[in-house]
Structure 1
Amino acid sequence: MRIIGGTLKGLRLNPPKNLPVRPTTDLAKEALFNILLNQIEFEGIKVLDLFSGTGNISLEFASRGAAEVISVDRSIHCVNYLKDTSRQHKLDQVKVYKEDVFKYLQMETEQYGLVFADPPYDLNKIPEIPKIVFERNILLPGALLIVEHQSMQNISQHPAFVEQRKYGHSSFSFFRAAE
C-alpha cells in the first residue's frame, strides 16, 4: 500500500498484519483518483471516509490537500494506526473517530464535498449507505458519494446513482447530490 499522489506521494504504508481490513488495492485506488482528478478539486475539500480501516483513502486525500478528512471506523486498532500515521506525517486535517458508521451517520450534521465508504464486502447493509447519506443531507450540492463494494453486487437503485466502475472483484459506485 502506498500514497500515489500529493505531498506524500510514494510513501509506503505498513499497517500491522492483524487489522480487520481489506484495503483498496493500489490499482483500484489509482484508477479512482484518476477519475476524481477530473471531477473535483482536492485542495480545500472536506471529506468523510466511512469504514476507513488503515486510512489508505483518508491519507491519500490529506496528501492531496484536503482541508479536513473525517475518518470513521469501529476497530480501535485501525483508529490507533490511522491516528499514529497522521500524527507521524503531520496531517492535522485528519480526524479519526472510533464509532459504528451507521450510528455516526445518524448523528452527523456536517456536509461534505465527498463521502467515501468502503464497508466490509459481506455487510448486508451496504445499499443503506446511499439512502442514509442522502436522507441526512450529508453531501454539499453537487458533491459525490462513492461506495466500494463487490463487483457482483448492484447498488444502483438509488435515484442519485451515476455510474459503477469495476476493477476486478471490486467496484466503485458513484452517487451525486443535486446542484
Structure 2
Amino acid sequence: MKKKTKKQKKIRITGGFLKNRVLHSVNKINIRPTRNRVKQVVFSWLQKYIKNSTCLDCFSGSGNLSIESVSRLAKSVTSLEKNYTLVNKLRKTIKNFSITNISVFHTNTLQWLKKNGTPYDIIYLDPPFYNKTLLNQSVQYLEKYNWIHKNSFIYIEHIDNNIYIPDTWKLIKKKKIGIVSFLLFYKKNKN
C-alpha cells in the first residue's frame, strides 16, 4: 500500500513579470500564506496604485505579498519578519529571482513600528490570525509613529470582525472567503 504524501504548499506569483514563479517551500513552518485567489483579488484592488509605490509588509512570513508587489512594479518593499528561517528563505528567493528592491529585516514588527518612521504608500497587515492584540497594536503604531501619509492604502487580512480602525481610515474594499476577511482602507485627508 502506498503511503499518502502530504500536499506541498506551493506559493505562486499570480501577476506581473514574475508571474507563475514559485516561492520557496514553507512546509514544516507554521504559517498561513495569503492564498492565490485572495492575492488576485487584492492586487486587482491595488492595480492602479501599485506601480512605483513604496510598500511595507509588516508580517511578511513567506514574502508572498512582498514579491507579488515587486512583480507588479512596486518601486520598493520593506519586509518585516521575526522567524529567522523564513527570513533566510525569503532572502534566498529574492537572490534567485534577481530582485534588488526588497529589503528584508529580521525583526519584531511591533518593535520596528514603535519609532518614528517614513510613510509608505501601501501597507500589508497580515499578522497571525488569532492574535487580535498584535493587529490592533500594529494599527495604532502605524498611526502614532508616522508610517502612513494621506491617501496611503492599508490592506488587512484577519478573522475577527471586532478590530480597531482609526476614524481617519476609510474602508474602500471588503471581501470574505471562508472565515477570512480581507479589507482595503485608505487614509483620508483631515478636514
Pairwise same-fold verdict (TM > 0.5): yes
The equivalent residue for 1:60 is: 68
Distance in structure 2 (CA, Å) of the matches to 1:123 and 1:161:
23
The residue number in structure 2 matching 1:85 is 93
> Greater Rg, structure 1 or structure 2?
2
d(CA) in 2 for partners of 1:84 and 1:108? 30
Q: Is the 8 A contact 1:161 1:173 kept in 2?
A: no
Q: How does 1:165-176 map to 2 (within 5 A)?
A: 165-176=175-186
The aligned runs of 1:30-179 (5 Å cut-off) are 30-38=40-48, 40=49, 42-125=50-133, 126-150=135-159, 152-155=160-163, 157-159=165-167, 160-163=169-172, 164-179=174-189
Aligned residue pairs, count:
176
Q: Is the 1:79–1:98 Cα contact (8 Å) retained in structure 2? A: yes
Q: TM-score, normalised by structure 2?
A: 0.86
Q: How large is the Cα RMSD of the aligned pairs?
A: 1.6
Given that 2:114 and 2:145 are in contact with CA atoms closer than 8 Å, whether structure 1 keeps it comes out as yes
- 1:108–1:47 Cα change, 3 Å: farther
Q: CA deviation at 1:156?
A: 5.7
Equivalent residue for 2:20, pick from 7, 10, 19: 10
CA drift at 1:178: 2.5
Measured in 2, the distance between the counterparts of 1:43 and 1:127 equals 28
Distance in 2, matches of 1:43 and 1:37, equals 8
Unaligned runs of 5+ in 2: 1-10
CA separation of 1:72 and 1:174: change in aligned 2, threshold 3 A: same
Compute the displacement of 1:139 (Å): 1.3
Q: CA deviation at 1:138?
A: 0.8
Q: Structure 1 residue 19: deviation in Å?
A: 2.2
Q: Is the 1:75–1:98 Cα contact (8 Å) retained in structure 2?
A: yes
Q: Identical aligned pairs, as a percentage?
A: 27
Say if 2:175 and 2:182, in contact at 8 Å, map to a contact too.
yes
Q: Contact 1:20–1:75 at 8 Å: present in 2 too?
A: no
Structure-1 separation of matches of 2:80 and 2:152: 19
Return the offset for 1:108: 4.8
2:132–2:163 Cα contact (<8 Å) kept: no
Is this contact kept in 2: 1:111–1:137, CA < 8 A?
A: yes
